[in-house]
Structure 1
Amino acid sequence: MTRGVNTAGLYVRDQDEALAFYVGKLGFILHTDVRNGDYRWLTVQHPEQPAFQLGLFKPGPPVHDAATAQTLNEMVAKGAMPPLVLAVDDCRAAYARMSECGVEFTQEPVERYGRVDAGFRDPSGNGWKMIETAAKPQSRSSK
Structure 2
Amino acid sequence: MTNIELTYCPITVDDIDAALGFYRDALGLEVTRDVANGDHHWVTLRLPDQPSVEVVLSQPGGGRSPEDAEAIHRLVAKGMMPPIVFRSDDLDAIFEKVSASGAEVLQEPIDQPWGPRDCAFRDPAGNMVRINAAG
For 1:78 and 1:133, locate their aligned partners in 2 and report how far apart those are by CA, in whole Å. 29
* Alpha-carbon offset, residue 110 of structure 1: 0.9
CA distance in 1, matches of 2:10, 2:127: 11
Gap runs ≥5 in structure 1? 135-143
Q: 2:35 and 2:3 mapped to 1: Cα distance?
A: 25
Of Structure 1 and Structure 2, the greater strand share is in: 2
1:74 matched to which residue of 2? 74
Q: Structure 2 unaligned segments of length 5 or more: list them.
A: none
Aligned length: 133
The structure with the larger Rg is: 1
Shift of 1:3: 4.3
1:88 pairs with 2:88: yes
For 2:31, the equivalent position in structure 1 comes to 30
Q: Give the % identical residues.
A: 36
Give the conservation status (yes or no) of the 8 Å contact 1:25–1:102: no
- State whether residues 11 and 58 of structure 1, in contact with CA within 8 Å, keep that contact through their aligned partners in structure 2: yes
Query: What do the CA deviations read for 1:84-123 (whole angstroms, capped 9, x no partner)?
Result: 1110113222212221222221011111345321111110
Give CA-to-partner distance per residue, 1:33-77, whole Å, 9 cap, x none. Answer: 11122111311111111111100010115x111111000000001
**Counterparts of 1:16 and 1:97 in 2: how far apart (Å)?**
19
**C-alpha distance in 2, partners of 1:8/1:86?**
11
2:25 partner letter: G
Distance 2:133 2:51 in 1: 21
Aligned Cα root-mean-square deviation (Å): 1.6
Query: Which residue of the partner structure matches residue 20 of structure 1?
Result: 21
Aligned to 1:133: 134
TM-score by length of 2: 0.90
Structure 2 distance, partners of 1:25, 1:109, is 16
Q: Partner residue of 1:42?
A: 43
